[in-house]
Structure 1
Amino acid sequence: MLRYLRSHVKSIMIAVIVLFVVSIFAGYGLYARSGKGSDGQRDYAVAEINGKDVMRSDIEKGTMQLAEQLGSEKEVTSADIPLMRKAILDSTAIEAELEKEIKSRNIEVTEDEIDEAYTNIMDSYPTREEFKAFMERSEITEVQVKSDIKKQISQKKVMDALAAEINVPDDEARKFYDSAKTFLYKQPAGFKVNIATFKSNEAAKLAQKSIEGGEGWDKVMDQHKADIMTSTPYDKPVLITVQMMVDSLAALKDLPLNKVSPVMPVTSSDSYVAIKRSKEAEKQLSYNEVSADVVAMIKNQKAQEKQQEFYEELLSRAKIKILDPEIFPAPTSADIKTEVKSEDKQ
Structure 2
Amino acid sequence: MQVDSVVRTRTLSAVILSIFTLLSFSGCHRAPSADVVATVNGKEIMRADLEKIYKANLDQNQPEPSAEQANILRLNALKSMIDDEILQQRAATLNLSASDEDVNAKLTEIKAPYTQEEFDRQLKQRGLSLDDLKRQIRRGLTQTKLVNKEIESKINISDTEITDYYNSHKSEFNLIEPQYHVAQIVVTGNPPQQGAAQPTRHVANEAEAKKEIQSIRSRVDTGEDFGTLASQFSENPSLAPNGGDMGFIPESQLKTDSDVFSSINMLKPGQVTQPLPVTDPSGPGHKLMGYAIYKLFSREAAGQRELKDPRVQQSIRQSLRERKTQLLQNAYYEMLHDDAKVKNYFAEQILKQGAQ
TM-score of the pair, normalised by structure 1: 0.51
Q: Are residues 164 and 229 of structure 1, via their aligned partners in 2, closer, same or farther at CA, if it must alter by over 3 Å?
A: closer
Asked if 1 retains the 8 angstrom alpha-carbon contact of 2:55 and 2:126, the reply is no
Q: 2:80 is matched with which residue: 70, 91, 94? A: 91
Paired AA for residue 147 in structure 2: M
Q: Are residues 115 and 58 of structure 1, via their aligned partners in 2, closer, same or farther at CA, if it must alter by over 3 Å?
A: closer
Counterpart-to-counterpart distance in 1, 2:126 and 2:180: 47
Asked if 2 retains the 8 angstrom alpha-carbon contact of 1:63 and 1:81, the reply is no
Counterpart-to-counterpart distance in 2, 1:78 and 1:302: 37
Superposed displacement of residue 118, structure 1: 1.0
Match of 2:95, SS state, is coil
Residue deviations 1:248-287, cap 9 Å, x none? 654897x8xx9xxxxx98669x9x9xxxx9x964111112
Q: Are residues 88 and 179 of structure 1, via their aligned partners in 2, closer, same or farther at CA, if it must alter by over 3 Å?
A: same
Name 1:327's counterpart in structure 2. Answer: 350
Name 1:166's counterpart in structure 2. Answer: 155
Instruction: Using the TM superposition, name which of 158-167 and 131-140 deviates more.
Output: 131-140
1:247 to 2:259 alignment: yes
Counterpart-to-counterpart distance in 2, 1:54 and 1:295: 40
Superposed displacement of residue 313, structure 1: 1.4
Instruction: Using the TM superposition, name which of 57-66 and 286-295 deviates more.
Output: 57-66
Q: 1:226 is matched with which residue: 204, 214, 222? A: 222
Name 1:154's counterpart in structure 2. Answer: 142
Query: 1:28-177 alignment to 2 at 5 Å?
Result: 43-55=34-46, 78=68, 87-107=76-96, 109-125=98-114, 127-161=115-149, 162-177=151-166
Q: Are residues 252 and 154 of structure 1, via their aligned partners in 2, closer, same or farther at CA, if it must alter by over 3 Å?
A: closer
Superposed displacement of residue 239, structure 1: 9.1
Q: 1:308 is matched with which residue: 318, 324, 330? A: 330
Asked if 1 retains the 8 angstrom alpha-carbon contact of 2:180 and 2:250, the reply is yes
Match of 1:288, SS state, is coil
Paired AA for residue 120 in structure 2: K
Paired AA for residue 285 in structure 1: R
Counterpart-to-counterpart distance in 1, 2:163 and 2:352: 46
Q: Are residues 226 and 122 of structure 1, via their aligned partners in 2, closer, same or farther at CA, if it must alter by over 3 Å?
A: same
Asked if 1 retains the 8 angstrom alpha-carbon contact of 2:178 and 2:300, the reply is yes
Counterpart-to-counterpart distance in 2, 1:266 and 1:300: 30
Counterpart-to-counterpart distance in 2, 1:267 and 1:305: 36
Structure 2 stretches of 5 or more lacking a match?
1-32, 183-219, 228-246, 278-290
Superposed displacement of residue 150, structure 1: 2.3
Superposed displacement of residue 302, structure 1: 0.8
Asked if 2 retains the 8 angstrom alpha-carbon contact of 1:94 and 1:318, the reply is no
Name 1:26's counterpart in structure 2. Answer: none
Paired AA for residue 133 in structure 1: R
Asked if 2 retains the 8 angstrom alpha-carbon contact of 1:248 and 1:266, the reply is no
Superposed displacement of residue 303, structure 1: 0.6
TM-score of the pair, normalised by structure 2: 0.49
Counterpart-to-counterpart distance in 2, 1:85 and 1:141: 20
Instruction: Using the TM superposition, name which of 133-142 and 113-122 deviates more.
Output: 133-142
Asked if 2 retains the 8 angstrom alpha-carbon contact of 1:177 and 1:294, the reply is yes
Residue deviations 1:146-184, cap 9 Å, x none? 333222212101111111101222222222222333235
Counterpart-to-counterpart distance in 1, 2:249 and 2:319: 22
Superposed displacement of residue 291, structure 1: 0.7
Q: Are residues 145 and 321 of structure 1, via their aligned partners in 2, closer, same or farther at CA, if it must alter by over 3 Å?
A: closer
Q: 2:313 is matched with which residue: 284, 291, 300? A: 291
Superposed displacement of residue 56, structure 1: 5.2
Paired AA for residue 102 in structure 1: A
Counterpart-to-counterpart distance in 2, 1:176 and 1:153: 33
Asked if 1 retains the 8 angstrom alpha-carbon contact of 2:174 and 2:302, the reply is no
Superposed displacement of residue 188, structure 1: 3.3
Q: Are residues 192 and 111 of structure 1, via their aligned partners in 2, closer, same or farther at CA, if it must alter by over 3 Å?
A: closer
Counterpart-to-counterpart distance in 2, 1:229 and 1:296: 21
Residue deviations 1:121-141, cap 9 Å, x none? 11354x443212112334433
Q: Are residues 174 and 100 of structure 1, via their aligned partners in 2, closer, same or farther at CA, if it must alter by over 3 Å?
A: same
Superposed displacement of residue 102, structure 1: 1.4
Query: 1:193-204 alignment to 2 at 5 Å?
Result: none
Q: Are residues 77 and 292 of structure 1, via their aligned partners in 2, closer, same or farther at CA, if it must alter by over 3 Å?
A: farther
Q: Are residues 187 and 329 of structure 1, via their aligned partners in 2, closer, same or farther at CA, if it must alter by over 3 Å?
A: farther
Counterpart-to-counterpart distance in 2, 1:239 and 1:79: 39
Q: 2:171 is matched with which residue: 178, 182, 187? A: 182
